[in-house]
Amino acid sequence: MITDVVLKEKQIESKLSGFSHDEVGDDHLFTGIETPMKPDAFEISDDEKKEKIAGLFSEIMNVMGLDLTDDSLKGTPKRVAKMYIDEIFSGLNPKNKPKVALFDNKYQYNQMLVEKNITFYSNCEHHFVPIIGKAHVAYISSGKVIGLSKLNRIVQYYAKRPQVQERLTNQIAEELKAILNTEDVAVIIDAKHLCVSSRGIKDETSATVTSYFGGKFNTQEKIAELQNTLKY
């Protein structure tokens, strides 16, 4: 249940509060199901954010010793700013949340529906490097159904922010539960973290798998059925 998830997160946050950033190091941790956002996160426009980011990124490039007068580099700060706001972190802004329409389950299909192998690109909030993976989502209708493409859009919306895979899994599941008005939702994510493969330990073969099984999916029989479906 979500209350158990929130309680566990508060316990983790309490334990972490006494540690410095260096002590936490590269540990893969998250402290809440909600993406950490400032209260005034949307008081300035997207255009203002792009302008500020471009200026700050110019400073980063300058500090690294890059020549911003070079034809190849001079447009980079603006390109990065546009990419951050309009693309890879667009899921931070609620205005970009996909609009979802539900339809009556006229076919009376009462078994699980699975949308598998939804490719997504996200970014690790600890190092701002890519997370590349596939999401598998499933639900059992409580009387309403959702367009298949909307399942993909929900995954993409929550992926397009600085993320931790555990949080991403729970956010997708909670969104589907709220939209479909059912606890019968499952989410499995299999992803490769470049903060593991391209830096730090530099393990290029490992992957991370997280899952959420709610309602009728939270049984050994249903989990086995879902896992068997994902094999094909």
- Is 21 an annotated catalytic residue? no
Nearest to 129 by CA among 196, 212, 73: 196
Q: Find the catalytic residue in 9, 115, 126, 171.
A: 126
Q: Find the catalytic residue in 9, 136, 163, 193.
A: 193
Q: Are the C-beta atoms of residues 195 and 124 closer than 8 Å to each other? A: yes
Q: At what angle do helices 165-180 and 148-159 cross, to 10 degrees?
A: 140
Q: Find the catalytic residue in 9, 115, 163, 195.
A: 195
Q: Find the catalytic residue in 124, 163, 166, 175.
A: 124
- Is 126 an annotated catalytic residue? yes
Q: Are the C-beta atoms of residues 96 and 84 closer than 8 Å to each other? A: no
Q: How far is CA 21 from CA 8, 124, 135, in A?
A: 21, 16, 30
- Is 136 an annotated catalytic residue? no
Nearest to 118 by CA among 178, 46, 43, 168: 168
Q: Find the catalytic residue in 51, 125, 183, 225.
A: 125
- The helix or strand, by DSSP H or E, that contains position 131, with its residue range, turns out to be strand 130-140
Q: Find the catalytic residue in 51, 127, 183, 225.
A: 127
How far is 48 from 68, CA to CA, in rounded Å? Answer: 21
How far is 31 from 8, CA to CA, in rounded Å? Answer: 9
- Is 28 an annotated catalytic residue? no
Q: Find the catalytic residue in 115, 165, 171, 174.
A: 165
Cite the active site residues: 124-127, 165, 193, 195
